[in-house]
Amino acid sequence: MSCKAPIKKPSLLRKLEMKKVFVTGADGMLGSCICRELIEQGFSVKAMCHPSSKTNTIDTLAIEIVRGDVTHKPTLSKEMEGCDMVIHVAAVMKLWPRRHKHMTSINVLGTKNVMEVAESLNMERMIHIGTASSFANGTLQQPGNEKSAFIGHKFRMDYIDSKYKAQQMLLNQYKNSSFPVIIINPTFMIGPFDSGPSSGQMLIAIFNNSLKFYNQGGKNFVCTVDVAKATVNALSKGKIGECYIAGNENLSYIEFFQKAFKSMHKPFNMKGIPNFVLLMAGFMSSAKARIDRKTPKLSYGIAQLAKENQYFSAAKAVQELNMPQTPIEIGIAQCLQWFKDHKYI
């Protein structure tokens, strides 16, 4: 699936039958791909973006764009009315500082507001974007899955804790009132429309020759377009009250960086460092950041996460949501091309 696919013009009959989907956080990397996938599958889209957000990633799409904050319930009630389903993408993802009240407000209270409005409007389905960090990671031989218990509390990060709390709130609502929710739990996404930039910062650093070292450990990497496909498919597929890890390739950091260097036609020149060096660097960087009051490139919390083998299985999403498994090289290429087209590199 390509995020640059041409927009099909449905017939009048198709327009009358079209389901209308409300999307929060529609201007982000994943939200932008979801909007395109919704159009591709014949849905009508109403996209809500924060008043302070730029909408350049979706401005050219045949969708309705509105402004609002998920923490303001009256706005949600007004804007969600008339929609059949909702995809809740909006969230704050910050790993430094590790504790941040604003993050919990957005990720938990905002989700609660979307859930309550969706329930009051008798919406057919709510798709919530969570995180794979709500489950325990595993090894290459036994990757984590949807049955793996949450262990994220050990990192003491409000982002991880708040996303897990929001997930449990939604699952409890399903148990208590049969609320029609499905949760998509992405791993580490790479793809176009990364206007932040967020995950693509690593690729920019490689392009600029500023990333010199890699550590032990690894992640599950996935193309953003595949997560978008699984998310939209969940509007009609999957099981209510279930979570789906949306991932693909379990790669060590050296494996991922080698793929990235190859995509840029650069010779691989990074050097490996032991994890204790990574942790030491993260600790000192965090200490300096507290004094300078500037976000560090490598915090102690991020260093703790980076040394883990964050490996997961997406078998359930592949089987039940028909989630594609696009090679991560394609996601890297899409991300780099978008950065080039928009003068990031």
Whichever domain contains 113, its CATH number is 3.40.50.720
Query: What is the pLDDT confidence band of residue 5, given thresholds at 50, 70 and 90?
Result: very low
Q: What is the pLDDT of residue 156?
A: 76
Q: Assess if residue 102 is contained within a domain.
A: yes
pLDDT of residue 307: 76
The string of pLDDT tens digits covering residues 26-55 is: 999 999 999 999 999 999 999 999 999 999
- Average pLDDT in the chain: 90
pLDDT at res. 14 = 43
Task: Give the C-alpha separation, 199 to 194, whole Å.
Answer: 8
Residue 178: is its pLDDT beyond 90? Answer: yes
Predicted confidence (pLDDT) at residue 193 exceeds the cutoff of 80 = yes
Query: Could you tell me which of 202, 194, 217, 327 has the C-alpha nearest to residue 261?
Result: 202
pLDDT number for residue 153: 83
| Residue 340 vs residues 36, 193, 203, 204: alpha-carbon distances, Å | 21, 11, 12, 10
Segments forming the whole domain that contains residue 264: 15-337
- Tokens read off for 114: 């979307």
Q: Can you tell me the mean pLDDT for 206-234? A: 95
pLDDT of residue 183 exceeding 80, the answer is yes
| φ/ψ of residue 58, rounded to 5 | -130, 0
Helix ranges, the chain (H) = 12-17, 29-40, 73-80, 101-104, 110-120, 158-177, 201-207, 224-233, 253-263, 275-292, 300-306, 315-321, 328-341
How high is the pLDDT of residue 18?
85
Residue 319 lies in a domain: yes
- How does DSSP assign 328-342, residue by residue? HHHHHHHHHHHHHHT
- Is 5 inside any structural domain? no
What average pLDDT does the segment 178-191 reach?
98
**Within-domain flag for 29:** yes
Interval 211-230 mean pLDDT: 94
Mean pLDDT of 271-290: 75
The number of domains in the chain is 1
Of 82-96, 165-179, 209-223, the one with minimum mean pLDDT is: 82-96
Query: Is 104 inside any structural domain?
Result: yes
**Average confidence (pLDDT) over 213-234:** 96
Average pLDDT over residues 120-138: 97
Provide φ and ψ at 91, rounded to 5°: -165, 160
Burial class (CB in 10 A: 0-12, 13-18, 19+), 77: middle
In a domain, 9, yes or no: no
Is residue 1 in a domain? no
pLDDT at 283 over 70: no
Quote the pLDDT of residue 209: 92
Q: What's the average model confidence in pLDDT over 220-235?
A: 98
Q: What does the alpha-carbon distance between residue 59 and residue 55 come to, in Å, rounded to a whole number?
A: 6
Q: What is the mean pLDDT of residues 187-191?
A: 97
Rank 81-95, 300-314, 315-329 by mean pLDDT and report only the highest. Answer: 315-329
Residue 153's CB is within 10 A of a number of other CB atoms, namely 10
CA 189 – CA 197 distance, rounded (Å): 12
Evaluate whether residue 312 is within a structural domain.
yes
pLDDT tens string 228-270: 999 999 999 999 999 999 999 999 999 999 999 999 999 999 9
